Amino acid sequence: MTSRFEILHKDAAGRIGKLITRRGVVETPTVMPVINPNIQSIKPSEMQNFGAQMLITNSYIIYRNEELREKALKEGLHSLLGFEGPIMTDSGSFQLSVYGEVEITNEQIVDFQQKIGSDIVVPLDIPTPPNVTREQTEIELNTTIQRLKAAKELIKDDIMLAGPVQGSNYADLREKCARILSEINFDVYPFGAVVPLMETYRYSELVDVIISAKKGLDPSAPVHLFGAGHPMMFALAVSLGCDLFDSAAYALYAKDKRYITTTGTYHVDKLQYLPCSCPICVSYTAEKLKRASNCEELLARHNLYVTFEEIRHVKQSIKEGNLLELVEQRCRAHPRLLSALKQMYKYSDWLEQYDPVSKSTFFYCGPESSMRPEVMRFSHRLNRFSLKGKALIRASSMRIDSEFDHVLLFRPPFGAFPEELSEIYPFNTESIHIHDYESLEKAYLNVLKLIELNPDVEFTFILSERFKHPLIEKLKQVATVILNY
């Protein structure tokens, strides 16, 4: 769709990519630290030391401040911030969502962003929050689309233009907006007005918003999740196909003396130990950090280190093909994230389109793993097994194997498959010895489906005690079941 984004590696719907800007290549997924031109707890020139390749700032704040505006127009945005890498500028939409109005037009702010040298320009869209009426959402969405079309006509060729996808929490409107913007062809697609969902821990609804918008976009389009700055949700968002994040959390949390980790947030006053090995945490004890005169700055630095450490962890997981395992681990850090994980797997059919067929090893991390796209894919392809005569299904080798035309290995959560495939992904699963209800249920449902697809085959199923499940009674109606307890 766009020649400015190249996908290098994929896992689930996540990917490692290259975003090509006029000031260099940015490897995604990545986080853009938010820079407030008026308040800088950490200088933008230092951001590369933490791992930042790109920054984002608010052009409306610069525009409203006469001194900043004149300096930006005279010397340029990069000189103003002291950062030579790519810089994205927001338009004032955030202020619009908070205060209800801004003192600038869409055309004026797009023109201003270009004049100060922004690398990625964001038009003045209307960020419709959750829980507004459908009528209001549609009115504001139409205005947003008209403004984005107008901005497209104003932009210069070498400057990238973002097309924010709006639609509140109406899935069909998000998808509709994405389809329209995709036809216009923007360089980056931010998903806007999602901060209220994150602030209220409505992560399941966030999953719906992301996937509905993704369905309307070309799969190769780079996606920016506006306002997502806490590392505990990066793995989930990346697995759904988000490439860029922006974070003011490192500074805002530090101002409130909050200490970020990949599994949650601590108030520094309650910490007895620092559970981190970043340069700040190895140089200070919890008590010294609390008493430090520059505690806020130190916390902001720690928060940035943790933020980019998690991004690197996510990238490594994509390379190794175990991103969903990381997602399942991270989502167990909070009940609302766990709900989001369950919600995501309701879209396993959608995920399966993008998930690579071949990886390394399938690790079973809990009941939700039985809902993964690999399991869904296997269930859809059971009709590819053509069986005749007598088939034995068992969990381990037995003396009677030679008496059967086919020997199938039983391994939850997949079910039964030819033993020759046992070392091939995803059947090389690392699983628990005493299987949980969900993995057994999925496996038995797949076995029943396999039997139904091969009505002329005589099936014998040998089971041990660790495979007890209510569905065994249903299996007895269609196969010979031997309970080897």
Q: Identify whether the C-beta of residue 70 lies closer than 8 Å to the C-beta of residue 116.
A: no
Mean pLDDT of the chain: 95
Phi then psi dihedrals of residue 394, to 5 deg: -155, 170
* pLDDT tens for each residue of 139-170: 999 999 999 999 999 998 789 999 999 999 99
Report the alpha-carbon angle 78-82-85, nearest 5.
55
Task: Please name every residue paired with 417 in a beta bridge, in sequence order, or none if there are none.
Answer: 409
Please give the Cα distance from 372 to 455 (Å, whole number): 28
Three-class secondary structure of residue 23 per DSSP: coil
Q: What is the DSSP string of 344-396?
A: HGGGHHHHHTTS-S--S--B--SGGGGGSHHHHHHHHTGGG----SEEEEESS
Whether 42 has a pLDDT exceeding 50, the answer reads: yes
How many angstroms from the chain centroid is the CA of residue 282?
A: 30
pLDDT at 97: 65
Take residue 430 and report the two structure tokens written for it. 């690392």
Taking Cα atoms as reference points, which of 400, 396, 383, 412 lies closest to residue 471? 412
Whether 3 has a pLDDT exceeding 80, the answer reads: no
Reported confidence tier of residue 305, pLDDT bands at 50, 70, 90? very high
Q: What is the DSSP string of 34-60?
A: EEBTTB-SS-GGGGGGTT-S-EEEEHH
- Which of 7-11, 90-94, 127-131, 478-482 has the lowest average pLDDT? 90-94
CATH of 5-352, picked from 3.20.20.105, 1.10.1060.10, 3.20.20.70, 3.40.50.2300, is 3.20.20.105
59: left (phi over 0), alpha (psi -120 to 50) or beta: alpha
pLDDT at 450: 97
Amino acid identity at 59: S
pLDDT at 100: 67
* pLDDT tens for each residue of 357-416: 999 899 999 999 999 999 999 999 999 998 999 999 999 888 899 999 999 999 999 999
Q: Domains of the chain: which residue ranges?
A: 5-352, 367-483
pLDDT at 424: 94
* CB contact set of 141 (below 8 Å; sequence gap of 6+): 126, 128, 166, 167, 173, 176, 177
Hey, how many other C-beta atoms are within 10 angstroms of the C-beta on 247? Answer: 25
pLDDT at 1: 41
Please list the active-site residues: 90
Whether 448 has a pLDDT exceeding 60, the answer reads: yes
Q: If you average pLDDT over residues 116-138, what whole number do you get?
A: 96
Whether 485 has a pLDDT exceeding 70, the answer reads: no
DSSP label at 190?
E
* pLDDT tens for each residue of 226-273: 999 999 999 999 999 999 999 899 999 999 999 999 999 999 999 999
Bond prior to 426 in cis (omega within 30° of 0): yes
Q: Which residues of 56-74 are buried (b: 16+ CB within 10 A; e: fewer)?
A: bbbbbbbbeeeebbebbbe
Percentage of the chain exceeding pLDDT 90 = 92
Going 359 to 362 to 365 to 370, the CA torsion angle's sign is positive
DSSP label at 400?
G
